[in-house]
Homo-oligomer: A and B are copies of this chain.
Amino acid sequence: MSKVVLASSSFTRKKILEDAGLVFSVEVPNVDEQELKGALLFKGASGEDIAGFLAEHKSCIVSTRVPSALVIGADQVLECEGIIYSKPKNLVAAKEQLNTLRGKKHTLISSVVVAEGGKRIWEHTDRSLLHMRKFSDCFLDEYISKQGKSLLDSPGCYQVESAGIQLFTSIEGNHFTILGLPLLPVLHYLRLRGAIAA
């Protein structure tokens, strides 16, 4: 039975796999994601391209260290009106980003790749559509002051699994895609490979 490794420093992705009852280890890929993203954007890459490339890059880097394992890498990109957003650098930038997203629909694109022997052997990309409501300035200030630095962990400055849910009017799409790891397709592939019980 192949060992499963998660190539990620994300607390949420680790929790998703743990909650699902998987046995796996975590290896951090140590990739400068912002730099890579910047270079891809400069070349005119789409949101889907970027999420797919970064998921592949992270899984393959770790896979060269543990070539016999099935290494899961994932990435998520936020796209709103043709613009791709990155994690804000500080709370001032977070407030700007939330102000821009307010009242609009945005898309979360989540890619997941499994690598083996240093190469991508499987991939899946999914999208979800989120409609941010026209919250008041007062709500925004309170939200930022309560959530603090946790806002810097995601390009949308929210976690739907906590108070971030109060930002939304509607959410369409799979919950795990929104969290950043399309789980059901991954489980399906791991079962096909005999890495988890069928």
A residues neighboring B (CB under 8 Å): 19-21, 135-136, 138-139, 142, 146, 161-163, 165-166, 168-171, 174-175, 183-184, 187-188, 196-198
Given contacts A174-B171, A184-B170, contact A197 B21 (CB under 8 A): no
Contacts A19-B163, A166-B196, A169-B184 given; 12 further ones with Cβ under 8 A?
A19-B162, A20-B162, A21-B146, A21-B162, A21-B163, A138-B197, A165-B183, A165-B184, A165-B187, A166-B187, A168-B184, A171-B175
Q: Which residue of B lies closest to A142 (CB)?
A: B197
How many copies, total?
Answer: 2
The 4 closest A-B pairs by CB, nearest first: A21-B163, A175-B175, A139-B197, A20-B165
Interface pair A198/B21, CB less than 8 Å apart: no
List B contacts of A20 (CB < 8 A): 162-163, 165-166
Can you report 28 A-B residue pairs in the complex whose CB atoms are below 8 A from each other?
A19-B161, A19-B162, A19-B163, A19-B165, A20-B163, A20-B166, A21-B146, A21-B162, A21-B163, A21-B166, A135-B198, A136-B197, A136-B198, A138-B197, A139-B197, A139-B198, A142-B197, A165-B184, A165-B187, A166-B187, A166-B196, A168-B184, A169-B184, A169-B188, A170-B184, A171-B174, A171-B184, A175-B175
